[in-house]
Amino acid sequence: MSKKEEHLRKPEWLKIKLNTNENYTGLKKMMREKSLHTVCEEAKCPNIHECWAVRRTATFMILGDTCTRACRFCAVKTGLPTELDWKEPERVADSVSLMNLKHVVVTAVARDDLKDGGSAVFAETVRAIRRKSPFTSVEVLPSDMGGVLENLATLMDARPDILNHNIETVRRLTPRVRARATYERSLEFLRRAKELQPDIPTKSSLMIGLGETKEEIVEVMDDLRANHVDIMTIGQYLQPTKKHLKVQKYYHPDEFQELKEIAMSKGFSHCEAGPLVRSSYHADEQVNAAAKQKQLFGETTAQQA
């Protein structure tokens, strides 16, 4: 068998339509002028053309472009990060305002070199966006920040609209797929976020195609719900470079639809599932689910009072 035959052939439904209209080129230019990073570019997201050119949305990546972890699925570069840039929150907020975004996702590289895991800059970014774009909803997507409760509390005190932390893969495959992170720590992180701010919806993402079973996928759903996670996204793992883990299976869109139906039956307020779905894919549409969750929480709390 040749080396080419060892790799699964990418199916038709994973072909991406490129769109480099004025929205796309203008947004890319602004990112460079503001010295900002996006996970859309750094992680080689397959939806960048749809989000930038059509939906006019982006996921900002703060705390630099160098991650202290070397996860075997991720294309973000690894190494020793640069010093913190305390002007970054204002630049992100300026860009959000210029783009007139209704919803923004803020993620970051893992910063295990920092005692607070970067939580202070994260929180200040949320506050800066609130000051300059008070009607923009803000979703944050942090690493586990070392599993330190104080770090998570710093971020949650800034009151993001959605706290998103990715479980990434099933329990069995976590040691092989993720670096330094653990399955249980991610579940604890999500549970503690809900304990700190019960009215803020939590969200997590699972990528499939790494050799997991259907039973293991369902186990992840159950584990997330047991830790009060409200929103789930499920997408196809795509190998970013030859150095990363190989794809073991390409799931058909019908299989994703089935998984979505199973997830919704488990009690998630929203589930986005599909071959090209990523953690922040159509995140703007998930704001409605999050808003309903907050409203239900408020009604329940009022009834109990």
User: Which pLDDT band, with edges at 50, 70 and 90, does 50 fall under?
Assistant: low
Per-residue model confidence (pLDDT) at position 18: 57
**Which positions make up the binding site for [4Fe-4S] cluster?**
40, 45, 51, 67, 71, 74, 280
Q: What is the CATH number of domain 21-304?
A: 3.20.20.70
The answer, yes or no, to whether residue 41 has pLDDT greater than 70, is: no
Q: Which residues pair with 234 in a beta bridge?
A: 206, 273
Q: What is the pLDDT of residues 240-264, one digit of tens each?
A: 778 888 999 999 999 999 999 999 9
- Of 17 and 114, the structure prediction assigns the larger pLDDT to 114
Q: What is the pLDDT of residues 110-168, one digit of tens each?
A: 888 899 999 999 999 999 999 999 999 899 999 999 999 999 999 999 999 999 999 99
> Cβ distance 69 to 181 under 8 Å?
yes
Distance CA 216, CA 238 (A): 19
The 10 Å CB-count burial string (b at 16+, else e) for 164-174 is: bbbbbbbbebb
Over residues 291-300, the mean pLDDT reads 57
- Is residue 103 exposed (0-12), middle (13-18) or buried (19+ Cβ within 10 Å)? buried
Per-residue model confidence (pLDDT) at position 184: 97
- Of 125 and 297, the structure prediction assigns the larger pLDDT to 125
The 10 Å CB-count burial string (b at 16+, else e) for 236-256 is: bbbbeeeebbebeebbeeebb
The answer, yes or no, to whether residue 54 has pLDDT greater than 60, is: no
Distance CA 172, CA 215 (A): 12
The answer, yes or no, to whether residue 31 has pLDDT greater than 90, is: no
Q: What is the pLDDT of residues 176-200, one digit of tens each?
A: 998 889 999 999 999 999 999 999 9
Distance CA 185, CA 19 (A): 39
- Work out whether the CA dihedral 185, 46, 65, 209 comes out positive or negative: positive
Domain ranges of the chain: 21-304
**Which positions make up the binding site?**
40, 45, 51, 67, 71, 74, 280
Instruction: Give the 3-state DSSP-derived string for 214-258, with helices as H, strands as E and coil as C.
Output: HHHHHHHHHHHHHCCCCEEEEEECCCCCCCCCCCCCCCCHHHHHH
Per-residue model confidence (pLDDT) at position 220: 98
